[in-house]
Structure formats: structure tokens, C-alpha cells
Amino acid sequence: MRSLDIGSNTALREAVEVLDRPGRASAVTSTLTFAHRALLKIKHVPEQLFDVTLTPIIFTLMFTYLFGGAIAGDTRTYLQFLLPGIMVQTVLIVSVYTGFTLNTDITKGVFDRFRSLPIWRPAPIVGALLGDTVRYTIASCVTLVLGLILGFRPEGGATGVVLALVLLLVFAFSLSWIFTILGLVMRSPNAVMGVSMLVLMPLTFASNIFVDPRTMPSALQTVVEVNPVSHLVTAVRGLMGGGATFSDVGWVLVASAVLTAVFAPITMHIYRTRG
């Protein structure tokens, strides 16, 4: 009997023994794995897409039909002005959830497991940011399809729409680093959401999303003109309308690069040193 046990143990060891030690995952592989993890969350918890689908629908319908006639004289004219701005606002609001989900992982202890893995250190964060671009794309597409149904017609054509979407995703990715920092330092997911909205709401409403800044008081016009969201809306509106300038698009790209260059290192420092 004992010889049988010894023989079975030997066979088991031979079956599970790994002769060649697997190599360490590359930075790209690790990042894509965590991006896939972010997409799996959407697959297994589809309820989290409610904000992505319902928010743009509510905002578009509400502002178009409640304020369109008063602001632009008729709803169709106002929709041409409003829809690119609503796309920007929707994507920026959705970007808050990057910090929210990161903080949720921290509170559940998953964060510490990731830090102990022999992988490229930024992979969990960069992968999550890349995975969330799918949410941004869904939000943008929902807004655009609704706008087309209501009568929005992008004069820039399909090319202008695609370029506007790519520019919006680039800016949202760079802005998400700020919300990632909040996800690392705040004590609860609800706190992350609350503080993020306090940051985001002035940026979106004190901008040119809903009305032409020329109708505002001079002091508020100054605030709107320096607001990075206003520059983003101008570029997206120009690309979709076929009238974008190189300076409009270039300003957004430079702002995105600066945001990433400043806040990405801060995020990774907090990530490495967090107790």
C-alpha cells in the first residue's frame, strides 16, 4: 500500500512539474491583461453601463427640448451646437469611474495583491485606464446615435466624427490620471465620487458646452476662455462641423500631454509608496 502511495505521489509531481520556468510578462502583456479585466467587469456587471447610456440620453433630451428654443430659437439649430458638447461632458463624467473602481479594489484588498505580483508596476493602473476607454466610446456612440435620430448632422462627415472621438478619448485618458490619484488617496469609493464631481461640475458647466460664452458676463467669459474643457469642446465641435483649426486640435493635444506628464508620475509615486 505504501509503495502505491509513493508511486502515485511521484506521478503527481511529474504531472505538475514545470521544467522550463515561464518568463516574466512584458509591460504590454501585463497592461493588456488588466485592460481585459476592466472589460470583464462590464461583461459580468452590465448594470454599470446604465450611467453610460442613460446620462447622455437624459442630458441631450432635456437641454435640447427645454432650453433649445429659448437659447437658439429652435431645437434643431441648438442641437447642432449642443451635441458635441454633450459628448464631451458625458465622457468626462464617465472618466470619474476610473478612480471609483480603483478605490473599490483598494477597499477589497485586491490592490495589495496586484502590487505583490512580479509585473510592470504601472500595469494595473494603465490597463484600467485603457479598459475604460471602451466605456468612453460607448458613451460617445450613444450620444451621437441619439443626436442623429433627433436631427443632428455633422458637416465634417464620418472622418470628422472619428477624429473628434479620438481626440476626446485622448483627453479623457489624460484627465483620468487626476481621478486615479483621488482613488488612491480617498478613504471610500463614495468619497472619490463626491470629490471628483466637485472638480468636474465647474469644469463642464463653466464652459462653452451649453451656451456661447459671448452671452456671459465678462468675468465669467474669462473663466470659460481658460477652461481646458472649453478648448476641448471647441476642437470637437470644429472637427464634427468641418471647421476645426490646427491650433484648436493642437491645444488639446498639448494639454493632454501636460496632464499626463504631471499627474501620471504623481499617481505612480502614490501607488508605490502607499502603505
Query: What is the model's pLDDT at position 12?
Result: 64
DSSP assignment of 96-142, as one string? THHHHHHHHHHHHTHHHHHHHSSS-TTHHHHHHHHHHHHHHHHHHHH
| Contact indicator for 239, 164 with CB cutoff of 8 Å | yes
pLDDT at 271: 85
Per-residue pLDDT reduced to its tens digit, 35-55: 888 888 777 777 667 777 788
pLDDT beneath 50: ranges in the chain:
1-4
Q: Which residue has the cell 496632464?
A: 259
Segments making up each domain of the chain, as ranges: 23-273
pLDDT at 275: 58
Q: What is the dihedral of CA 263, 268, 269, 270, to 10 degrees?
A: 90
pLDDT of residue 273: 82
This prediction's pTM? 0.84
d(Cα 259, Cα 266) in Å, to the nearest integer?
11
Burial class (CB in 10 A: 0-12, 13-18, 19+), 235: buried
Instruction: Please report the DSSP string for 40-89 in residue order.
Output: HHHHH-GGGGHHHHHHHHHHHHHHHHHHHHHHHSSHHHHHHHHHHHHHHH
Q: Quote the CA–CA distance of 233 and 120 in Å, as a whole number.
A: 35
Q: How far apart are the first and last CA of the chain?
A: 52
Predicted local distance difference test score (pLDDT) of residue 215: 86
Of 259, 275, 273, 274, nearest to 129 (Cα)? 259
Q: Rg of the chain over CA atoms, in angstroms?
A: 23
Q: What pLDDT was estimated at residue 22?
A: 62
